[in-house]
Structure 1
């Protein structure tokens, strides 16, 4: 059977979308809202519709429930689906971070159990990585998993887990050998989020959302089959996971369903300038043009870096380039948006165009933290891409139990 061409796929997708998917309604209240139970229920429903129509998991292998097609097919589907309601909240971390990590690193049993469920819309995945005491030092994990026969017993805590309350399973990094150096005594587990001993609490952010969560583990039982990769080699899994995260945050993942990492539909800066009566002001036009140029560079940088990584010209860590440039672009757009909105934005609620930009600015720093901090991205680029001298680490080769914690 001949493979369907990209053009044929586009035309079939265009027809199916028009007949089956609801048009996206861009409402102010919809902007930046991912912490509503109804949003997640709707996302699962939309994913099931895509699956039933044969357009879910376009780039996932056929043996795990996907279509086994190349990035080109996903790109044209993304273009055609832009005006339709799509399950965008599933993009990060479920479809573009956790599922690809499972596909790359997990056992065949875990792949066949969870990847089809994700593609069908039956499972939502989340990351349990960051810890209250760790900051950007992911290898300094204190959450511990102790072997108990055929099981592991998990104790500790995680924080800043996006939408953990809505997830079914989590990739959780824990320390399993305290006598090994910090990078070599870790194990990655795929655990149920809602189970005895695991408490999820939502954190209210400065913009009023409760997207982020913190988790507490009190003698949580994990079956031995839940290990992803090898015992005490969790850093290898985490490294691959961070590769997918940087790619996703930077906008370069081929595993997403539709355009965008979140369900955020900010108006354009041009629309904002018109709304506040600045469309003919030279200084305002210059700011909008500067932001537009930055966005254009980012959109060109993504396929360039991806192509160089895929053909081997650049190592995988080069994805930190698009991750960093994403943050720089988002920062610039946030700053320009607030400057244009001015007092009008501060005084208006988030149902207005200026109010949306003012609210968005409250989470400006988020762009430089998601997928690892911008500072970490610069370190990676300088040390591992440009081969500049690495920063000295005096705890690299000593047993983790001897590493001083805190100050």
Structure 2
């Protein structure tokens, strides 16, 4: 992101004070976080759009987005201050990932001027939700090995293929969709990113039932989906460069380091108040073992916050490569595992129903492994850190520099 001239900006402390007063006067307290399908209903998405519009009208949407695209053009310090003050208030957190922190941020970095002016203000007003069409049913972690096809037909493009694991696609308006446009070059070189209307003719969306009963993930089938020429995001056959930038934003978002969020994610694992409440409700708050567990969880949260600040400064100054964002992503997963494990251990039998009847600890434990995959698998994060940050040798890849139409598949 471009660093604003701080001399022309409202002081952070003044901004924090103004945000605190506005939040107290405008937004209700955050409701209890719903579990499973109840947290992914059509009504919840409608409420998130409404809350985003309230932020926009109040002058607190898109804090780090440029002014010409509907944002405030302020610094990450302003964003951090607002996120801290907004804890405890109802916020449009569902729009953070992937709409604001990943997709909109990628459009900001790689979109044309027309694309930025068409989509970013609409996103910041809560009028558009964005989603990612990246992974494919047979792709695994080999994103560049995708086989969704985009073919030129006159001035248009026609897409055919299938995508999967698209969070919230059923509620979205547009998708960033990666497709293959050249089969005669190595796999990374023949890809193009497209901005696709999610409900365009030819797109079928099916929701996937998860272990907790929710159906947030989706699979999409694209059958002769026609797009105009200006739907290309970035350059034709330059989609891998756009994807790398998109994945950078995804790692930052999942790690809790994105400057583009509307408020702080409640499930980020950086607040032990839920652990304290479980201990009190189950009569264990004075147990030395339980207090030690809570202290360890709190210490991990403090390290997490300091790590985010250090990595963010390092990338901004050029002392660290952008790939260092994978360090935050990996640590965030490890911290989330620890928080879920600790809640389960403290809750004991109450994990299934909860002392308040919610069963939150048990639900979070069921979804624990999601943090192994969100924002790219932890194994991929370790590869990126080893190869692109530490400079270790790249792992073997038999299809490297081989034209994609000569790569054996399906074995």
- Judge conservation of contact 1:175–1:186 (CA < 8 Å) in 2: yes
- Which of 365, 372, 380 in structure 2 is aligned with 1:368? 372
Q: Within 1, Cα distance between the matches of 2:266 and 2:150?
A: 32
Cα distance, 1:384–1:54 mapped onto 2, change above 3 Å = same
Q: How many residues align?
A: 404
> How far does residue 193 in structure 1 lie from its aligned partner after superposition?
0.2
How far residue 2 of structure 1 moved from its aligned partner, in angstroms, is 5.5
Secondary structure in structure 1 of the residue aligned to 2:63 = coil
> What is residue 177 of structure 1 aligned with on the other side?
182
- What is the aligned-residue RMSD (CA, Å)? 1.9
Establish whether residue 301 from structure 1 lines up as the match of residue 307 from structure 2.
yes
Secondary structure in 2 matching 1:329: helix
Distance in 1, matches of 2:155 and 2:267, equals 39
Q: Name the counterpart of 1:103.
A: 108
Other structure's SS at 1:183 match: helix
CA distance in 1, matches of 2:231, 2:33: 41
The question of 1:136 aligning with 2:136 is answered no
CA displacement 1:217-242 (0-9 Å, x = unmatched): 01111111000010011000000000
User: What's 1:75 paired with?
Assistant: 80
The superposition leaves residues 10-51 of structure 1 with CA deviations (integer Å, 9 ceiling, x where unpaired) of 2222222222222223x2536885411111100111111111
Residues 268 and 336 in structure 2, CA contact (< 8 A), matched pair in contact too: no
Instruction: State how far apart, in whole Å, the 2-side matches of 1:197 and 1:350 are.
Output: 48
Give deviations 1:70-102, integer Å, cap 9, x for gaps: 111111111222222110100001110000100
1:243–1:316 contact (8 Å) kept in structure 2: yes
SS for the counterpart of 2:371 is: helix
- Structure 2 unaligned residues grouped into runs of 5+: 1-6
The residue aligned with 2:218 is 213
2:173 to 158, 168, 176: 168
User: Residues 176 and 195 of structure 2 are in contact (CA less than 8 Å); yes or no, is this contact kept in structure 1?
Assistant: yes
Structure 1 residues 218, 261: CA separation in 2 closer, same or farther (over 3 Å shift)?
farther
Equivalent residues of 1:89, 1:261 under 8 A apart: no
Match of 1:380 in 2: 384
State whether structure 2 residue 324 is matched by structure 1 residue 324: no
Q: What is the TM-score with the length of structure 1 in the denominator?
A: 0.95
The equivalent of 1:357 in structure 2 is 361
Shift of 1:282: 2.9
Specify the alignment match of 1:391 in structure 2. Answer: 395
Shift of 1:202: 0.8
CA 1:267–1:36: 2 relative to 1, 3 Å: farther
The range that moved more, 1-10 or 131-140, is 1-10
2:242 aligned with 1:237, yes or no? yes
Q: Is this contact kept in 2: 1:91–1:261, CA < 8 A?
A: no
Task: Report how far residue 262 of structure 1 moved.
Answer: 6.2
How far 1:349 moved relative to its partner? 6.3
Higher relative contact order (CA 8 A, sep 6+): 1
CA drift of 1:302 comes to 0.5
- Asked if structure 1 preserves the Cα contact closer than 8 Å seen for 2:272 and 2:298, the reply is no
Aligned-pair CA distance for 1:361: 0.6
Once the two structures are TM-superposed, the CA of residue 351 in structure 1 deviates from its matched residue by: 5.7
Cα 1:177/1:262, change in 2 over 3 Å: farther
Asked if 2 retains the 8 angstrom alpha-carbon contact of 1:350 and 1:356, the reply is: no
In the alignment, does 2:97 pair up with 1:92? Answer: yes
Structure 1 Cα separation of the partners of residues 176 and 58 of structure 2: 29
Q: 5+ residue gaps in structure 1?
A: none
- 2:19 equivalent to 1:13: yes
- 1: CA distance, partners of 2:162 / 2:272: 34
Residue 187 to residue 128, structure 1, CA distance change in 2 (3 Å): same
The secondary structure found in structure 2 opposite 1:389 is coil
Give the distance between the partners of 1:235 and 1:261, measured in 2 at CA: 32
Could you tell me whether the CA contact under 8 Å between 1:28 and 1:352 is conserved in 2? Answer: no
CA-to-aligned-CA distance 1:284-342 (integer Å, 9 cap, x gap): 23322222221221111101110111011100000000000000001111112222222
Q: Matched residues in 2 for 1:263 and 1:383: separation? A: 27
**2:4 maps to which residue?**
none
Match of 1:227 in 2: 232
Alpha carbons of 1:308 and 1:157: their partners in 2 closer, same or farther (altered >3 Å)?
same
